[in-house]
Structure 1
Amino acid sequence: MKKGRVDTALTTAPVVTCMKTLMMVFNFIFWVTGIVILAIGIWTKVDLYKYLELSNIYKAEAPFILIGVGAVIVIVGSLGCCCTVKGHSFLLYLYCGMLFLVFIMELSAGITLLVYKGKLEKGFQEGLTHKITLYGQKGEETITDAFDELQSKLHCCGIGSYNDWFSTPWGQEQKEPHSVPVSCCRVDIKTCQNSNLPPQANSTHMPIYTHGCHKLVVDFINGNMGPIGGVALGISFFQVLGAILACCLAKSISKAKYEQME
């Protein structure tokens, strides 16, 4: 091998080592994002779905999509570590293609969140308005439990206000007028006065929560859906960086092997 070739090979080797290090750092971060998305999907399916079912536009498949995307990212991230350690150009190019596919999925998810933010608000409003009329009805135990969970966890009552319950079929069926479910109670349900309530809250010491649930959920959507969509877009473009690193590493490895053969 000529001296120039030796010098070039010696120069290429540290570059490959440096890029492998960068790729391992990227793979670790990428793998962690997959774990986070997987955890969010599981949390949505196990707990958050109780609230989301009250929306008209909730899709039961949504948590499974998050779980699937998270699992794919974890698997691809693990394969990326193997590809980087092995140092095979073909595997790195294949990894680059996988990252591009993940980029498309995450980019679509981020854009969907930003575009459908308004529809999420409207869907929740329409869902609450319709499903509050089914509360306590025979065969609607799922909706009843969802409302109780929503009110007790978010410390709210009704849609816009607690007096929304007075005109519902459930409210009309109660022995005492102006009643609300016990899930609206601030205090122990055994001592809570959840009937014969005034039409308007006239004291800060009401035994029940007086704020409606819709505003709390809308505030959550407005305060979080935008940033979440933005983060999803940011993470998706992070995959582009990984794809570029993978391609550059594959090219450097091929170049180093070619120089060693000469």
Structure 2
Amino acid sequence: MALTGCYAFMKHVVTLLNILYLSCGLLLMLLAVWMWVDPTFSLSMVQDEASYYTGVYLILFVGTLLLIVGFLGCAAAISESQCSLVLYFCLLLAVLVAQISAAVWMYANNDKLVELVRYTVKTTVQSEYGSIEGRTETFDAIQSGFECCGASGPSDWAGSKYNNPQTESLGLAISSPEQSFKIPASCCKGDPKQCSEALTAVASGPISELIYSEV
């Protein structure tokens, strides 16, 4: 017997929601596979490989779960069972509430999340750039692509291992306000000839206009 009234409407709503879930699940799984196959870019954003691959597994799990939920929902809609549709609609609402709650939490903790990302980027700038080839190449691509320089600005490079290869500590100040420091070529918006002088800055002096200042 065909569904009518509210149940017919519920069937259409469930179908639309499941198309959304299937799409999101597929995108997350593709993202997880890409992160697994080519981890170079994303590894520059985390402190260690264990944390990185934990995130990959989590994304893969969520993507798989959404795909399963989507397929089950489509099956319930096709079967046109009133009981199955009601139960499944309740399940979708529960998942939706969980997602909204997560979004609200992320919005409420936005400043902390931004600080965490900034701290991670600053760690890459100060202790890993120039010493880890993969992260160096990735960070160069990020700076060129997003037209930025450092975590907070070009001055971040003054106390980095890129300028002080023997230094193990982070954020060490340079010894003199007149001392110069190097800035990576990926921070420069001009051609190599124009950038040759701009890539050497003085701690107390202005940064060349050829150097990206936005973060």
| TM over 0.5, shorter chain | yes
Residue 92 (str. 1) matches residue 73 (str. 2): no
Distance in 2 (CA, whole Å) between partners of 1:86 and 1:67 is 29
**Aligned counterpart, 1:228:** none
SS in 2 for 1:197: strand
Q: 1:195 aligns with which of 187, 195, 199?
A: 199
In structure 2, stretches of 5+ residues that fail to align are 166-179
- Amino acid aligned to 1:27: T
**Aligned counterpart, 1:184:** 187
Count of aligned positions: 193
Distance in 2 (CA, whole Å) between partners of 1:43 and 1:190 is 38
Quote how far apart the aligned CAs of 1:121 are. 1.8
**Aligned counterpart, 1:135:** 128
**Aligned counterpart, 1:145:** 137
**Distance of aligned partners of 1:23 and 1:148 in 2 relative to their CA distance in 1, 3 Å threshold:** same
SS in 1 for 2:181: coil
Q: 1:23 aligns with which of 1, 7, 11?
A: 11
**Aligned counterpart, 1:81:** 74
Larger Rg: 1
Assess if the C-alpha contact under 8 Å between 1:165 and 1:179 holds in 2.
yes
Quote how far apart the aligned CAs of 1:42 are. 4.1
Distance in 2 (CA, whole Å) between partners of 1:39 and 1:82 is 21
Quote how far apart the aligned CAs of 1:115 are. 3.6
Greater shift, 187-196 or 75-84, is seen at: 187-196
- Amino acid aligned to 1:103: L
Quote how far apart the aligned CAs of 1:203 are. 5.4
**Distance of aligned partners of 1:110 and 1:77 in 2 relative to their CA distance in 1, 3 Å threshold:** same
**Aligned counterpart, 2:115:** 122
Assess if the C-alpha contact under 8 Å between 1:136 and 1:170 holds in 2.
yes
**Aligned counterpart, 1:155:** 147
TM-score (norm 1): 0.57
- Amino acid aligned to 1:87: E
Q: 2:54 aligns with which of 61, 75, 78?
A: 61
SS in 2 for 1:160: coil
Stretches (4+) displaced over 6 A: none
Greater shift, 63-72 or 154-163, is seen at: 63-72
Deviations 1:192-238 (A, max 9, x none): 3253335444654x2x3233x3xxxxxxxxxxxxxxxxxxxxxxxxx
Q: Calculate percent identity across the aligned residue pairs.
A: 21
Quote how far apart the aligned CAs of 1:133 are. 2.2
CA RMSD of superposed structures (Å): 3.6
Quote how far apart the aligned CAs of 1:114 are. 2.5
Greater helix proportion: 1
Assess if the C-alpha contact under 8 Å between 2:126 and 2:156 holds in 1.
no
Quote how far apart the aligned CAs of 1:101 are. 4.7
Distance in 1 (CA, whole Å) between partners of 2:135 and 2:207 is 30
Structure with more contact order per residue of length (Cα contacts < 8 Å, sep ≥ 6): 1
Quote how far apart the aligned CAs of 1:120 are. 0.8
TM-score (norm 2): 0.67
Residue 35 (str. 1) matches residue 35 (str. 2): no
Distance in 1 (CA, whole Å) between partners of 2:208 and 2:103 is 43
Distance in 1 (CA, whole Å) between partners of 2:184 and 2:62 is 39
